[in-house]
Structure 1
Amino acid sequence: MDDRFNTAAGWVLFAGIVGLGLSAVSSRYFATHAPEEGGYPIEGAVEEGGAEEVLDYGALLAAADAAAGEAAAVARCGTCHTFNQGGANGQGPNLYGMMGKPIGEGIPGFTFSDALASHGGSWSYENMFAWLESPRGFAPGTKMSFAGLSSPEDRANIIRFMYENGGGPPLPEPLPEEASEGEEAATDAAADAEVENTGEAGTPEADAPAAGADQTNPVGE
């Protein structure tokens, strides 16, 4: 019995030694390499640091709804601001005629925060779009507690209301639209057809008689 046990134990030990040896040898010949880039690409994902979306302020303001902007301005901003001419200042300044004015100044009886007073520039349409999107992002340190509006259309409605209610600089023109591929293809096809038709029958060159031909007998009799 002891001999069988010793024999079996010896074979098990031998198998273990062989397995370790084969593992060591295989690791020398079959080395693994880490991938150059971790993970895998996701289709449609935008790389960090990519170009930001460019808003067409002219197109947005041209399509904006001033009535919807007034309703939104009163609902969202009316607790702190007034919009009528000569309206009183509240927690925020009266906003009548604000478009085009210098940022952080020019409102009698109201003291702006240092963040706005030192910002510089004027309330252009671009600046007002940025301010309504994120007051704290536009002027870090501002006392404005409003979180902002993420929708460009909502911002355009309010700005259009402010413009029609209190005036401001001329509205910006929409960005020029590039011709679509279909329009370009149609234009090119029309141009090619015009070139091909030049000089065909029915043109003045084709209908003109040859020099010296007898024009008194059209049928050649």
Structure 2
Amino acid sequence: MSLEFNKIAAAVLTAGVAFMGAGIVAEVLIHPKRLAEPAISLGRDPAAAAPAAAAAAPAAPAIEPIGPLLAAANAENGAAAARRSCGACHSFNEGGRNGVGPNLWGIVGANHARAEGFNYSAANRALADKPWDFEALNQFIAAPARAMPGTRMAFAGIANTQQRADIIVYLRSLSSSPVPLP
């Protein structure tokens, strides 16, 4: 039997030990110290620059109203987009299980934090008396963390307005008595 595999493994381990040893030696020889404040200010007062930077921060983009797009939205496209974007965490069938996220059957028009036994975030429970109307869903699907600060939902959102309209029309169809369109 050939010892080639052992030679290769020994070479990899030796290289790893050599690199680790070089890192330790470099750490001992060189002690970089971080400065408490920048050594060069380039003529700017750091205290004055902070408010200017905060003021220059771009405002969150306004999300256009979804109402006008709902009439032309396609529920089949919405079903595909919902399965692709939401299906890993949510179920859509009547009486379906809660997963990482709650079942979404009958969500349009229902109050926030409505699923019995589901562990909602405090941000969602705080809105329990408010319904998931078309605009609330639009804001949430666009950017959950911005629409509901403190949500535990780790989803970046959907920027495409037409795709959000399609998903909302699909979610509207998940009911025995769908909410009328605006």
Whether TM-score is above 0.5 comes out as: yes
- Residues 143 and 83 from structure 1, CA distance in 2 versus in 1: closer, same or farther, beyond 3 angstroms? same
Matched, 1:88 2:97: yes
Q: Which amino acid aligns with 2:100?
A: Q
CA distance in 2, matches of 1:160, 1:52: 21
* Alpha-carbon contact 1:65-1:160 (below 8 Å) kept: yes
Partner residue, 2:123? 115
Cα distance, 1:59 vs. partner? 2.3
Higher relative contact order (CA 8 A, sep 6+): 2
**Identity value in percent:** 39
Q: How does 1:13-162 map to 2 (within 5 A)?
A: 52=62, 54-55=64-65, 57-104=66-113, 106-120=114-128, 121-162=130-171
Highest Rg: 1 or 2?
1
Partner of 2:22: none
Aligned partners of 1:103, 1:144: CA distance in 2, in Å? 14
Question: 1:52: Cα distance to partner?
Answer: 4.7
The alpha-carbon deviation at position 74 of structure 1 amounts to: 0.6
SS in 1 for 2:73: coil
> What is the Cα deviation at residue 165 of structure 1?
2.3
> What's 1:38 paired with?
none
The offset of 1:119, in angstroms, is: 2.7
Measured in 2, the distance between the counterparts of 1:169 and 1:131 equals 18
Query: Size of the alignment, in residue pairs?
Result: 122
Distance 1:156 1:54, change over 3 A: closer
Q: CA deviation at 1:109?
A: 2.3
Gaps of at least 5 residues in structure 1 are 1-47, 173-221
* Alpha-carbon distance change, 112 to 157 in structure 1, aligned in 2, over 3 angstroms: same
RMSD of the TM alignment (CA)?
A: 1.9
Specify the code of the residue in structure 2 equivalent to 1:108: E
- Tell me the residue number matched to 2:179: 169
Amino acid at match of 1:169: V
CA distance in 2, matches of 1:102, 1:151: 25
- Matched-pair contact (CA < 8 Å) for 2:81–2:167: yes
Report the alpha carbon displacement of residue 75 of structure 1 after superposing the two structures with TM. 1.0
Give ranges in structure 2 of 5+ residues lacking alignment: 1-57
Tell me how far apart the structure 2 counterparts of residues 52 and 78 of structure 1 sit (CA, whole Å).
27
8 Å CA contact 1:89, 1:109 repeated in 2: no
Which consecutive segments of 4 or more residues in structure 1 shift more than 6 A? none
CA distance in 2, matches of 1:53, 1:103: 20
CA distance in 1, matches of 2:126, 2:86: 23
CA distance in 2, matches of 1:99, 1:118: 18
TM-score by length of structure 1 reads 0.52
